[in-house]
Amino acid sequence: MKVLVTNDDGVRAPGLWALVKSLQTVAEVVVVAPDREQSGVGTSISLHNPLRITPVDAPPIKDVETYAAEGTPGDAVILALSHLVKGGVDMVLAGINEGANLGNDVYISGTVGAAFQGWFYGVPSVALSVGALHDVKFEAAAKLAPLLVGLFARGKLPRNLLLNVTLPNASLYDIQGIEVGRLARRTYADVVEEGWDGKRKYYWIVRGNAEWKDEPGTDVRAVRMGRISLTPLSSSNPQLLTTLRRLCFPLYAELLTARPGD
């Protein structure tokens, strides 16, 4: 398996390297990620300016082919799949993002945006996020990633799948399970702050606290209950949902047998 790893937190983000370290055990990994943080840019791509790519000579993990790309996460995936990575990849993994991507948020998430772009190329794609912005625990997500790659490699998951995965910010053995959650209805009280740059007024959109309908069966509820949420974004075909639900428990059991420090 050859896997493209990208993210929206930027090529230096610790979550990306936790993911790479873990995936190296099961796949050949190439990293093409934005050169700076691009959270919240969704699926956007750059059509009005040129993009530069910088090979990273000394990546945090030795000998991993790594490129820092100008532009959005979607741009990084396009540059990777259309230009940089000869012979294509078997999967795209985006993350591990710092911060949940649940409910409506998936449509503005750069992490999910990168996964969308991989899926547009016909490559099975997974977005991985942990629901915290501080003291983020990457271990469980990092251990889950190679298990998901294994499911695709063994044909247990369809190749046309775009999967959004959000984990609670918990240690591996505090994770309460894995379930398939539909997107919750989540609303934000966005605030527009006004300022003065010395010449003109400016406005700054500040994300307020999220409010959500905490309904059973949603991704928000799953993560609140300490479970990992899997949400297919490519299809709500009942057969696919059944397939995913059947995989949840074996996947959870397998995750718990992953030893700390593996």
Cα gap 146→148, rounded to integer Å: 5
Question: CB of 180 within 8 A of CB of 241?
Answer: yes
Q: Which residues pair with 126 in a beta bridge?
A: 93, 163
CB-wise, 43 or 97, nearer to Mn ion? 97
Nearer to Mn ion, 114 or 172 (CB): 114
Q: Where are the beta strands (DSSP E) in 13-90?
A: 28-34, 53-55, 65-69
Nearer to Mn ion, 9 or 139 (CB): 9
Nearest to 99 by CA among 159, 167, 147: 167
Stretch that binds Mn ion, among 2-10, 134-142, 161-169, 236-244 (CB under 5 A): 2-10
Can you tell me the distance from the alpha carbon of 36 to that of 43, in angstroms, rounded to the nearest whole number?
16
- For residue 190, the minimal CB distance to Mn ion (Å) is 17
Q: C-beta of 7: minimal distance to Mn ion in Å? A: 7
Min dist CB 163 to Mn ion, Å, is 17
CA distance 179 to 231: 9
Contact code string over 84-113 relative to Mn ion, x by CB under 5 A: -------------x----------------
**Residue 144 burial (CB count, 10 A):** 27
Write each residue from 3 to 42 as x if it is in contact with Mn ion (CB under 5 A), else as -, in one continuous string. Answer: -----xx-----------------------------x---
Q: Name the residue whose CB lies closest to Mn ion.
A: 39
* Residue 240 · residue 169 · CB < 8 Å: no
Cβ nearer to Mn ion, comparing 132 with 225: 132
* Tokens, residue 114: 């990168």
Minimum Å distance from CB 245 to Mn ion? 28
Nearest to Mn ion of 97, 117 (CB atom)? 97
Which residues lie across from 34 on neighbouring strands? 69
Taking the complex as a whole, the smallest distance from the CB of residue 236 to Mn ion amounts, in Å, to 25
- Of 79 and 114, which CB lies nearer to Mn ion in the complex structure? 114
Site size with Mn ion, rule: CB under 5 A: 4
How buried is 254 (Cβ within 10 angstroms: 0-12 exposed, 13-18 middle, 19+ buried)? middle
* Binding of Mn ion by 66 (CB under 5 A): no
Task: For residue 18, give both structure tokens.
Answer: 């936790």
Question: Which residues contribute to the site for Mn ion (CB under 5 A)?
Answer: 8-9, 39, 97
